[in-house]
Each structure stands twice: as C-alpha cells, then as structure tokens.
C-alpha cells in the first residue's frame, strides 16, 4: 500500500537545475542586486540574530562546516565543504545545501542547493560591502584567483558598484582564459594579466580569491598602494591566508563576525586585540567606513551564516508562484501525531 503524502509532509526543494533556471528567470545581475538588498537588510537587524562561529570539521584534505543562525522566527543552516584538491579530481572545491525552518514548530519550509547560491551570495556580499568602502568612482578591479567564484565577483561589482573593467590573474593561465571567455560580451572591459602586479595597474578594488589551504602571500606589502579597497575572500579557515601582515597593518579592517574572522580570516595573523570594525555597524551608521581618499580599506571576508540565511530568504520569496521547485516528501505526517508506528504499519498493507 502506498500512502500519498499530505501537504504537511511536503517541503519545497530547489535543485541545482531549478536554481539555474531561477537565476535566468530573474537575470543574474538583478538577482545579485536583490541578494545584496536582502543581505544588507539582515545586516541592519544584525542584533536580532543568533550568532556563533561555524562548526567546522577539519582534515588534511579540507573542511566540512555547518553554519546555523536564527532571527527568532526563522531558523536557517548551511552545510558546506571546502576541498582545494577537488578540482584535480574533476570535483567542485565547494559544495553546499541549506535549509530554512519555522522556529514556532520546527518544520522545514525550504530545502535548497547552495553551491550555485553560495557563489551568488558571496559575490553579492562583497559588492554590497564595496558600495560602502571602495573609493568613490571606483571602476577597475584586479581579480586575483580566477576559479569558480571570479565571474560572480566581477558581475556583482558591475551590477552594484558600477565596475567597468576587470583585470584577471591566476597562476593557472587556463583559469584566466576561462574567466575571460565567460565574461566576454557582458558589458565589461576584460584584461588578462600575466602577473599579479600587472593585474593591479589602475585598480581601485583588489579581490583575492585563491583556494590553497596554506599560509600564502598573494599580496605583498609593496604591491598595495594607497587609496584602494581590498576584498579578501580566499582566507576562510585556520591556516589559510592570502595577504602579507604588512598589508593588514596598513589597512582599516572590516569584518562580518570577529569571533569567527579571528579564527579563520586574514586577521588570524594578527594579535587577538587588533582593532577591527564590524560591517553591520557601518551599514547602520554607528561606525565609520572609509574615512579619507588615501585609506586602504580591507574587507576580511570569511562568509557568515546570516548571509546564507538572507540568500535562502530571497530564494523562498522568489520561487513563490513559479514551478522552479519540487515538493519533497520529507516529513512524516501520520493521521495521529502520536502514531508514527501505525503509519509505518499501514504502509506495508497490500
């Protein structure tokens, strides 16, 4: 006997295929702007959220993490991994999925892929922050590290900050060629560079996004001049950094959540009391952003659960009234809530 699931058993599920359809349905640049708006709105109510550093399980190969939060009405979490070696095996470095649930009864209200969505929300967060911190009129970005995130970062800066030109560099020329090919015809000047120094010529924004799990120096102190904004997104776990300490010491540093960033971000290289500013305070107007034209601002971004919560909220709101999700039979719904075993028995009746 097959028991048809009731509506209480069904949870909307957004697959990778439907996520891609949703992006094309909305348009990638409008979606990036929309995600940035949702993230900014949640930063404005930052104090309402449960906040904790993500729960990480590290290995020699990479890391697997859970990222939970709640605003008191809705609970969300993301499962995500980071395994730099994966590309050599034909696998993604980062995969993810996420869930939203009703705090009042604990029932899930959305299950979604988050491999594509994480790339979108990371880029949207970077550009939302750059809107506050980048020098006025910034139009050129150096994109150092041309892997899976690079095109998203570039398009978000175009959509939200008015970027006109991107200068690409990667130690793997094939990655740069891939990014240049993907960005062709999207309304940007795209310049492929042979050295990181070349990529920074004329750039007011510098984004670093490399994957190796090691203390690395992608930006040395003498490579960074005055008046730029650095968007450092590659250092996102203990023992993984991209910037020389001299760059950090010359910069005004902005972070998402200090308790997490001091463990995982570029500032793990500095003393635990090194001053940083939380971005939600800048957005709320209780802390300063960029103070003067010659200042070096640094967004030490490691990703935080509230950004994933915002992205899942956006998806939940924008799949309504579409066919871009599947109803997943995820929750048991016996006729009598106390009779789970009886439901199981009835399912075996011929």
- Report, as residue numbers or ranges, the catalytic residues: 236
What are the distances in angstroms from CA 236 to CA 63, 64, 266? Answer: 10, 12, 8
Q: How far is CA 178 from CA 28, 34, 142, 156, in A?
A: 18, 27, 16, 18
**Dihedrals phi, psi of 18, to nearest 5 degrees:** -70, -30
Cα 137 off chain centre by? 25
- Listed in sequence order, the residues at least 6 apart from 275 whose beta carbon sits closer than 8 Å to its beta carbon are 253
Q: 204 near 140, Cβ under 8 Å?
A: yes
Closest CA to 229 of 290, 169, 281, 185: 290
**Which residue has tokens 């991994």?**
81
Pairwise CA distance, residues 277 & 300, whole Å: 10
| CA dist., res. 221 & res. 289, Å (int) | 22
- DSSP single-letter state for residue 335: S
Closest CA to 125 of 15, 260, 239, 280: 280
**Structure token pair of residue 18:** 């439907």
Q: What is the number of residues in the chain?
A: 350
How far is it, in rounded angstroms, from Cα 130 to Cα 182?
Answer: 23
């Amino acid at each position: 006997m097959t028991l048809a699931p009731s509506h209480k058993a069904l949870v909307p599920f957004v697959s990778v295929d439907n996520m891609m359809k949703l992006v094309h349905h909305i348009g990638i640049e409008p979606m990036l702007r929309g995600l940035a708006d949702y993230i900014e709105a949640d930063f404005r109510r930052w104090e309402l959220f449960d906040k904790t550093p993500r729960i990480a399980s590290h290995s020699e190969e990479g890391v697997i993490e859970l990222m939970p939060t709640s605003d008191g009405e809705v609970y969300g979490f993301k499962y995500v991994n980071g395994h730099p070696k994966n590309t050599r095996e034909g696998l993604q470095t980062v995969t993810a999925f996420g869930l939203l649930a009703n705090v009042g009864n604990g029932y899930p209200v959305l299950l979604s892929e988050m491999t594509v969505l994480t790339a979108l929300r990371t880029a949207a967060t970077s550009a939302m922050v750059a809107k506050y911190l980048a020098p006025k009129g910034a139009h050129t970005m150096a994109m150092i590290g041309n892997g899976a995130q690079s095109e998203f970062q570039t398009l978000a800066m175009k959509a939200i900050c008015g970027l006109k030109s991107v200068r690409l560099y990667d130690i793997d020329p094939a990655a740069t060629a891939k990014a240049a090919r993907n960005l062709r015809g999207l309304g940007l000047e795209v310049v492929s560079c042979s050295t990181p120094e070349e990529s920074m010529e004329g750039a007011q924004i510098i984004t670093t996004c490399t994957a190796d799990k090691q203390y690395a120096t992608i930006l040395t102190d003498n490579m960074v001049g005055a008046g730029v904004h650095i968007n450092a997104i590659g250092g996102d776990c203990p023992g993984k950094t991209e910037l020389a300490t001299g760059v950090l010491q010359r910069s005004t540093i902005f972070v998402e959540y200090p308790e997490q960033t001091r463990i995982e971000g570029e500032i793990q290289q500095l003393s635990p009391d090194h001053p940083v500013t939380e971005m939600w305070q800048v957005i709320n107007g209780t802390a300063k952003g960029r103070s003067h034209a010659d200042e070096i601002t640094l967004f030490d971004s490691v990703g935080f659960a509230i950004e994933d919560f915002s992205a899942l909220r956006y998806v939940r709101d924008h799949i309504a009234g579409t066919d871009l999700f599947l109803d997943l039979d995820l929750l048991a719904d016996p006729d009598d809530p106390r009779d789970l075993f009886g439901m199981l028995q009835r399912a075996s009746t011929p």
